[in-house]
Amino acid sequence: MRVFRWHAIDDFLTCRKKFENRWLKNLEPIEAPKALRVGKAVHSVIERSLKERADSSVLTSVLKEHELVEGLEAHQAQECAETALELIASTPIEPLSDKHGLLVERPFQVQLLDSYTTYRGRIDLVANVARKGPYVVDFKTYSMSADTLYMDFKMKRQMWSYVLALSKLGLECVGYAVVLLKKPRSLSTESEHTLFIYNLTKEELSEFEQELLLILSDIRQAIEDNALYKNTSACVQQYGACPYLELCSLGSSGLLQEVQEEEDTSPLIEF
């Protein structure tokens, strides 16, 4: 592999079997995990609201598009989206632009130091936060402890990789900001949020790039050695249960479908 995305790296670090299914065999669960449906809807609301400068009416239309009209999932998506929009307005979180428009839900592509590896991804938002910045801003819906999420190795490295990518494109970010949106557990409860802001130095980014290259080398070696085993300790940590859990014990029949990578029509970030 010469082209990597963070989600592929994340899958490898979580469970090599999941990485193999998704990124080498192009297989995904037929039924998407419920947590992903809520998260995608929330991101869509944020994107539409910022790009179209739309009022709260966009929330209802987006939830309908994602078939989240009633029930707990719909309530979770609505509460998290409303909380995110309120936070964006009050902090404030002010989106920045490149030559193609607002830096909201935009893809990037850069070459790493080895000149062999292409790193691609999609950033939620690049913005000034509380009049300071620029920061890479990421919105995450969750059910677990915010402290647990924040300290998670992979989440922090994901954000570092986005800051690194933007630096290679010519934008030196101060660091990153993560907005954690806690999903309500019942129809009678509301969403809660936590905003973490972390500043990064050039030295930290340089060290991280070397670390990232070592991880990518491990991935290539694992593919060559066919060392793509499952990580049983991660089977029930993500989304309550890994969507590949039954696959590991029962086989893929009726559980997975082959998928084609959707073409991203948004322009690459360019300064």
Query: Between 77 and 142, where is the model more confident?
Result: 77
User: pLDDT-based confidence at 239, cuts 50/70/90?
Assistant: very low
Q: Is the pLDDT of residue 255 over 90?
A: no
Q: What SS3 string covers 136-174? A: EEEEEEECCCHHHHHCCHHHHHHHHHHHHHHHHCCCCCC
Q: Is the pLDDT of residue 59 over 70?
A: yes
Options 3.90.1150.10, 3.40.50.261, 3.40.50.300, 3.90.320.10; CATH for 3-253 is: 3.90.320.10
Query: Between 96 and 150, where is the model more confident?
Result: 96
pLDDT digits (tens, 9 = 90+) for 73-83: 999 999 999 99
User: pLDDT at position 92, please?
Assistant: 95
User: Which segments of the chain are extended strands (E)?
Assistant: 3-5, 27-29, 93-95, 97-98, 101-102, 104-111, 118-129, 132-142, 175-182, 192-199, 256-258
Mean pLDDT of 61-87: 93
User: pLDDT at position 146, please?
Assistant: 55
Query: Between 256 and 172, where is the model more confident?
Result: 172
Q: What are the angstrom distances between the C-alpha of 112 and each of 15, 63, 84, 142?
A: 24, 38, 33, 31
Mean pLDDT of 181-191: 92
Lowest mean pLDDT among 28-42, 54-68, 145-159: 145-159
Q: What are the sequence ranges of the domains in the chain?
A: 3-253
Residue keyed to tokens 């920061």: 135
Q: Residue 185: how many CB atoms within 10 A of its CB?
A: 10
Cα angle 177-180-181, degrees, rounded to a multiple of 5: 140
User: pLDDT at position 17, please?
Assistant: 85
User: pLDDT at position 249, please?
Assistant: 54
Half-sphere exposure of residue 265: CA atoms within 13 angstroms, side-chain side: 0
Angle, helices 202-225/6-14, rounded to nearest 10 degrees: 60
**Token pair of 22 as six digits:** 């998704």
Query: Between 10 and 35, where is the model more confident?
Result: 10
Mean pLDDT of 170-183: 94
Task: Return the H-helix or E-strand segment holding 15.
Answer: none
Of the candidates 120, 125, 121, 151, the residue with the CA atom closest to the CA atom of residue 136: 125
Query: Between 166 and 33, where is the model more confident?
Result: 166
Q: CA 153 to CA 3: how far, in whole Å?
A: 22
User: pLDDT at position 259, please?
Assistant: 64
Query: Between 233 and 6, where is the model more confident?
Result: 6
Task: Return the H-helix or E-strand segment holding 91.
Answer: none
